[in-house]
Amino acid sequence: MNMTSDEPSSDFMFDKKILQGLDLSKYGISFKESERSPTEPESGILIRPLSKHDFDKGYIDVLAQLTSVGEVKKCDFIARFESMKKAGCYYLLVVEDTEADNGRGKIVGAGTLEIEEKFIHSCALRGRVEEVIVDSKYRGRRLGKIILGLITELSKSLKCYKTTLECKVDNIAFYNIFGYEEDPEKFMQRRFRD
């Protein structure tokens, strides 16, 4: 047992049980040792829902490897965490190295699934993949693949009619592994600020 497992379930963004039993073998992700699984792929590495204690474990620092995070104080983090949890449509995953920082644990990866409600396609749900990042020191250990596999299978199990994302051209092949295909539609944006 580690500190993370002992946190009350209310400290997590969503119920971690829904990550259990998601099968990633169809994406070529399997585990040699019988005690390993997508949510515990290596000894000391956990993939789990974001916790309200993850500000202190460097969650924002990992996001900063992806894009501009600006200034996010702990109170800002807690307020946004509670708001997202209440909304119920945000599935933020993190990768924790539970042995890092002298056993205090450190967030070394992240990925988000958002669920949108629709009227079209028989009142469907749609998934969106956002903010997928693995700490540069932890790359090459297939953690990004496991995050994507979990997000994709989770969106399917939550009954999304489709799941989408935007990615750099260099990453298309990576997303192809998980069944994402380029769509002829163009991604357009209007930016109001950084």
Provide, rounded to whole angstroms, the least separation between the CB of residue 147 and a copy of itself: 15
Residue 133 Cα distances to 9, 122, 157, angstroms: 24, 33, 23
Q: How far is residue 180's CA from residue 162's CA, in Å, rounded to a whole number?
A: 10
Quick check: 119 binds a copy of itself (CB under 8 A)?
Answer: yes
3-state secondary structure of 138: helix
Minimal distance in Å, beta carbon 116 to a copy of itself?
6
Kindly tell me which residue out of 47, 84, 107, 147 binds a copy of itself, with binding defined by CB under 8 A.
Answer: 84
53 lies in the site for a copy of itself, by CB under 8 A: no
Which CB atom, from 14 or from 178, has the smaller least distance to a copy of itself?
178
Name the residue nearer to a copy of itself (CB basis): 82 or 103.
Answer: 82
- Position 59 contacts a copy of itself (CB under 8 A): yes
Confirm or reject binding of residue 66 to a copy of itself (CB under 8 A): yes
Give long-range contacts, CB 8 A cutoff, 24+ apart: 59-67: 59/94, 59/107, 59/110, 61/107, 62/94, 62/107, 62/108, 62/109, 62/110, 62/133, 62/135, 63/110, 63/131, 63/133, 65/133, 65/135, 65/136, 66/131, 66/132, 66/133
Residue number with CB closer to a copy of itself (9 or 83): 83
Residue 167 engages a copy of itself in binding (rule: CB under 8 A): yes
Residue 78 binding a copy of itself, by CB under 8 A: no
136 contributes a contact to a copy of itself by CB under 8 A: no
CB contact set of 55 (below 8 Å; sequence gap of 6+): 74, 77, 78
Contact of 114 with 91, CB cutoff 8 Å? yes
Q: Which parts of this chain interact with a copy of itself (CB under 8 A)?
A: 59-60, 63, 66-72, 76-77, 79-80, 83-84, 87-90, 114, 116-124, 128, 130-131, 152, 155-156, 160-169, 172, 175, 178-194
